Each structure stands twice: as C-alpha cells, then as structure tokens.
Amino acid sequence: MIFAARYGWQESNAPLHFHYVAPSFWAWKGGEARLKSLANFVDHILCILPNEEAVCKLNGLDATFVGHPVLEDIVEFNLGKQASPHDLKIEGNSEDFRRKYALSPGAAVISLLPGSRLQEVIRMLSIFSHAFDQLKDSIPELITVIHVASNQHVENYIDGVMHKWPVPAILIPGGHQHLKYDAFSASTIALCTSGTVAMELQLARLPCVVAYRAHILTEWYIQYKAKIPYISLPNILTDSAIIPEALFQACTPTNLASLLMKLMHNKRLQEEQIVAAENVTKLLFPSERIINLEEQVEWKFPNFTPSMIASSTILSHVKS
C-alpha cells in the first residue's frame, strides 16, 4: 500500500491510498469480490498486468496499468540504446560466460531456477536432481547452471547438496543481473519453479519448462479454487500452453526429464516459445500511456519504467 498526502484542500484530511499490484482476481473463483471490498478504502490501484485496469474500473476502482516490474531489467540493460517496446529483450553475452567457466563448444547448458524460498527450494531441487540424473546419459556434456536466490538459507542449502548433484553444475549467486542474463544467453533451455523467473526467461527469449509442487493441502486448495488452467504468467497472458507445465502430482522427475528432452531437441518448439515471448513482452508494456508521457516530458522510451509511470500516476492524482 502506498500513501500520498493530498495536494490542496479536500473534503477529507485522510491521505490518498494507492494499492500497488492488484489482487489476482483473474486466477481465483470469486476473485472479483475482493475488488469490491478494496473499493471501500483504496483510491487507486496500480496494475501490473494489461487486463486488470478495465476489470478494476468495472468494479468501482480507479486503476492504471503501469507495466510489470520485471521490465525494469530491460531498461537497465538497454540504457542509451534506441529501442521500442515491441522489440525489447535482454541479450546476455554467451561467449563471455562460456569463456569465464571454460565450457567446451559442445557443452549442453540448461539453466535451473529452483525458487527463492527455502522450503520451495528443498522440495523442488530434489525433484530436479532426480530429473537430471535421468537426463545425464541422454544428453552429452550436460551442464546445469543453477541460479541461487539472494537468501542466505537457500545459499547454504544448495551449497550443502551440490556434492550429490548428478551432473556438473555452475552456481550463479543472486543479485548479479548481468551474469544471470549471460548464463541465460549461454543456455539452450531452462527449467524453473513457477514464479517471476518465468517472466525473466521471456525477456531473455530462453525456452523453458515450468514446474511446481507444494504441500498437498496447498495443491488441493489451488485445484479447488483456481479458475484458470495455467500457473505460469506467460501461459496465462497468451491463454495457451506454449510453455510446458509440470504441476502438482505431474511434477515428477520422469515427466520433467521427458519434457526437457523434448524441448532440448526440438527447434520448432523452441522457436514457438521465442515468438510467444515477443508477444508476452509487448503485453507487459503500457504503450499508450508511455506515448502520452513522451508528449509531456523530454524523455523517450525506453527510459520510462513501470516505477516511473506509477510515480507519475500518483503525482497527477495528488495534484488534481
């Protein structure tokens, strides 16, 4: 929740209430009822997905689509470059990464993103380990690049299990953005636990498989309450299963190994994901709002970020 003092005289002395990130009403049965309750104490919602603004307004909430926070990465990597929201992506340096870690030209690199929370990583990394154990004899020179979240407990856990990892591995510490995208560029595909990382892989145009397991009660609740068939945001935004998902009881080492093998050796499937990623990236940009801002100030895209658009939205309301 963001609070902003009112500019000038108003009927009420209470601050304006801005809510950053709308509830995921589109994912859950009865989700729009939450919007109606928010209208009682929220003045404005700053939405990060393109479909949310219109639905919020239909439910009595003033709202603005400001763009997804992951786009901040794009701006960082494209500062000073001429670009448009329709072709932006993040290109790391594959050659530097391979040289840095002495990877052979024939090395088959798969990026692995097991999650950011300790319990999640413990649960998923065990499944991933068994999946790669099944893959190691089928993919020559298989290398895993494991992206470690900036969480000391996660770092300690992953360090402690690496001696049992079935294939050679490179650990990428959290917080090193350029190194992360260099690793993505050097990878053929990725395997990730469902989360924001799936959007980062879209920016890198790296084909992937998404996996998810939780406590049995959590899985039951999700299956009972969810009203959409997908869990990864790219699939949700495109309303298609372009990214393979292995969820709940289907998230087994054998299923993951099969999905990874299929994606690794099928250029058509990889290209389909890359094309879809371009479309997803376009959806994340509030293009019309950027055009309006460019008419008001001297800055040009890609210098506009979701945080800047959100700030502009707040300031315009405070001063109105």
The overall average pLDDT reported for the chain is 87
C-alpha torsion sign, points 297, 298, 301, 302? negative
pTM over 0.85: yes
pLDDT at 161: 95
pLDDT at 291: 47
Please state which of the ranges 106-120, 160-174, 272-286, 303-317 shows the lowest mean pLDDT. 303-317
d(CA 222, CA 228): 10
Instruction: Output the six-digit token pair for 154.
Output: 């996660």
**In what side-by-side order are the strands of the sheet with 44-47?**
2-4, 16-20, 44-47, 63-65
pLDDT of 41 > 90? The answer is: no
pLDDT at 36: 80
pLDDT at 82: 57
d(CA 258, CA 98): 26
Measured between alpha carbons, how far is residue 162 from residues 9, 145, 168 in Å?
A: 62, 12, 9
